Amino acid sequence: MSTEKKINAPSGWAMLFATIVLYLASIAILVGGVMSLDSGNGGMGALLIVLYCAVLTAAIVMSCGFFTLQPGQARVCVLFGDYKGTVRDEGFRWANPFFSRNLGMTSEVAEQDATEKVASKLVGVNLGRNHAHGSKISTRARTYNGDRIKVNDRMGNPIEIATVVVWRVVDTAKAVFDVDDYESYVYTVTETALRHVASLYSYDHMDDDDAMTEAITLRTNIEEVSEALKVELDRRLEMAGVDVVDARLTHLAYAPEIAQAMLRRQQAEAIIAARKKIVEGAVSMVDMAVEKLAEGGNIELDDERKAAMASNLMVVLCGDSEAQPVLNTGTLYH
Listed in sequence order, the residues at least 6 apart from 113 whose beta carbon sits closer than 8 Å to its beta carbon are 105, 128, 131, 133
Supply the pLDDT for residue 110: 47
> What letter represents residue 325's amino acid?
P
Which residue from 333, 292, 287 is spatially nearest to 314, judged by alpha carbons? 287
Q: How far apart are CA 292 and CA 286, in angstroms?
A: 10
The residues of the chain scoring below 70 in pLDDT are 104-134, 205-214, 258-262, 265-269, 293-294, 296-303, 305-306, 309, 312-313, 315-334
Determine the pLDDT at residue 94. 92
253 to 37, 198, 264: CA distances (angstroms):
87, 12, 15
Report the first-to-last Cα separation within the chain, whole angstroms: 96
pTM above 0.85, yes or no: no
pLDDT of residue 292: 72
**At residue 267, what is the residue type?**
Q
